[in-house]
Structure 1
Amino acid sequence: MALHFLPTAHPSSLPSSSLSLATQTYVYHPISGSMKRQSTLCKAVNQPAIHPPILTKRGLSISFLTTFVFSFAGEGANAAILEADDDEELLEKVKRDRKKRLERQTVIKSSTKETGYLQDLVYKLSEVGKAIENNDLPTAASVFGNGTDADWVQKANIALNKLSASPEEKTEVDTFNSSIASLISSVAKNDVESSKLAFVSSASAFEKWTSLTGLIVQLKGL
């Protein structure tokens, strides 16, 4: 008959990765009449395993959406700043343009004599155009009189130079002067085709100049 005693445990001798119990059992053997010790090592407790976080499709979607929203918000803020700068720059440009127009209107209103010169130019060009259209170059030549030295041509040139402010306006004045000189020369040579081309060039340059200066609404016959 074997008798079993309470086991003794030695946990300090076990590795840290798990908690094991070393048990000792004493067994009596009636035949030999002695007690024999029997040791058994039992693993009692295991440390819980550490599992990595589980990533689900829903979690990934939420993370991506959050990143996208903050990124979009940042870009939106930057765009708003740029738009505000653009608006301010545009507003300043509008103010400058308006100031220039007011100044130009003031100069034009005070230049009644020069405006009269230009109105006479419109009438004279109209007469020349009708004569050239009818192939009547002698009549066109009579309108020019002394050519580029004609009084109305000289006065028109004075008005054009005085009322021109921007580089574009001055360019059109130069084009007009060159074209009117060519027109006078073609008429004097009785060259109908060249006269027609030079007249169109002169009239176009003058009309564009009046559009740039705003005088197109004040001059009659354009």
Structure 2
Amino acid sequence: MATNILSTANPFLLPSSSSSPSSSPSLSSATLTHVHHHIKCSVKRQLTLCKAVNQTALPTLTKRDLSISFFTSFVLSLAGKGCLDANAAILEADDDLELLEKVKKDRKKRLEKQGVISSSTKETGYLQDVVYKLSEVGQAIENNDLSTAGSVFGRGKDTDWVQKANIALNKLSSSPEEKSEADTFSSSIASLISSVSQKDVESSKLAFVSSASAFEKWTSLTGLVAQLKGL
């Protein structure tokens, strides 16, 4: 083991001249001076290199440099915020205009609808008769008295009040939703008449609920619900 340690030792630590096996190895003054000088130069070169790297990687910033950088960032942030505020204001103005246009259109439609309803007193009377007739049919079906319900319909779908009801619904329906409910009422009342004529209590009840619901929805859409009694 001792042989291995000695064989890997730094050569400049060994004396230059051979020594006898019986004498202890010693270092001369010149050798010590050389080693000391070598270590000192090595340390000095490392310190110089570290200083150069630090000076290159981390430039010195003065207070004036920091102030200019902060002021520039602040101005840019204000400019960006101003652009965002301006864009937001434009979008908000567009939304307001669209909302105003929609309100105007809706108001115009309501006024037109009110004008049509006001000039359609005859059709309004037809619809008021529907409310009364449906009330009679509903009471009769609730009592399982389909004979009385059948007498209200008279000639079935050709009875006078049923035909007038369909005429009024078609005339006063303007929007797709109103027309859809008018069609639902027409088909439901036809099913109700058929069920009553066949003495089918359960089917009559279902058809009556469908007819009454469609009529009520239609009057709500058209604004006639407030003008008809019994709803």
TM-score normalised to the size of structure 2? 0.69
Quote the offset at 1:85 in angstroms: 0.8
- Per the alignment, residue 157 of structure 1 pairs with 166
String of CA shifts for 1:52-110, please: whole Å, max 9, x gaps. 64488877665544433322221111011011011111111111111111111111111
Counterpart pick for 1:172 among 176, 181, 185: 181
Matched AA of 2:180: T
Instruction: Give identity over the alignment, percent.
Output: 73
- Per the alignment, residue 101 of structure 1 pairs with 110
Matched AA of 1:141: G
Counterpart pick for 1:88 among 91, 97, 112: 97
Q: Which has the higher helix share?
A: 2
| Structure 1 residues 70 and 130: CA distance shift in structure 2, 3 A | same
2:192 matches 1:192: no
Rounded to whole Å, the distance in 2 between the matches of 1:148 and 1:166 is: 25
2:116 matches 1:126: no
Matched AA of 1:93: K
- Per the alignment, residue 208 of structure 1 pairs with 217
- Per the alignment, residue 191 of structure 2 pairs with 182
2:82 matches 1:73: yes
Matched AA of 2:77: F
| Structure 1 residues 197 and 63: CA distance shift in structure 2, 3 A | farther
Matched AA of 1:123: Y
Rounded to whole Å, the distance in 2 between the matches of 1:153 and 1:180 is: 8
Counterpart pick for 1:140 among 146, 149, 153: 149
Rounded to whole Å, the distance in 2 between the matches of 1:147 and 1:57 is: 94
Matched AA of 2:137: V
Structure 2 SS opposite 1:221: coil
Rounded to whole Å, the distance in 1 between the matches of 2:175 and 2:141 is: 32
Quote the offset at 1:120 in angstroms: 0.2
Rounded to whole Å, the distance in 1 between the matches of 2:82 and 2:180 is: 49
Does 1 or 2 have the higher relative contact order (CA < 8 Å, sep 6+)? 2
Rounded to whole Å, the distance in 2 between the matches of 1:188 and 1:62 is: 90
TM-score normalised to the size of structure 1? 0.72
Rounded to whole Å, the distance in 1 between the matches of 2:149 and 2:69 is: 86
- Per the alignment, residue 38 of structure 1 pairs with none
Quote the offset at 1:173 in angstroms: 0.7
Structure 1 SS opposite 2:144: coil
String of CA shifts for 1:119-164, please: whole Å, max 9, x gaps. 0001000111111111111111110111110100001111111111
Matched AA of 2:80: S
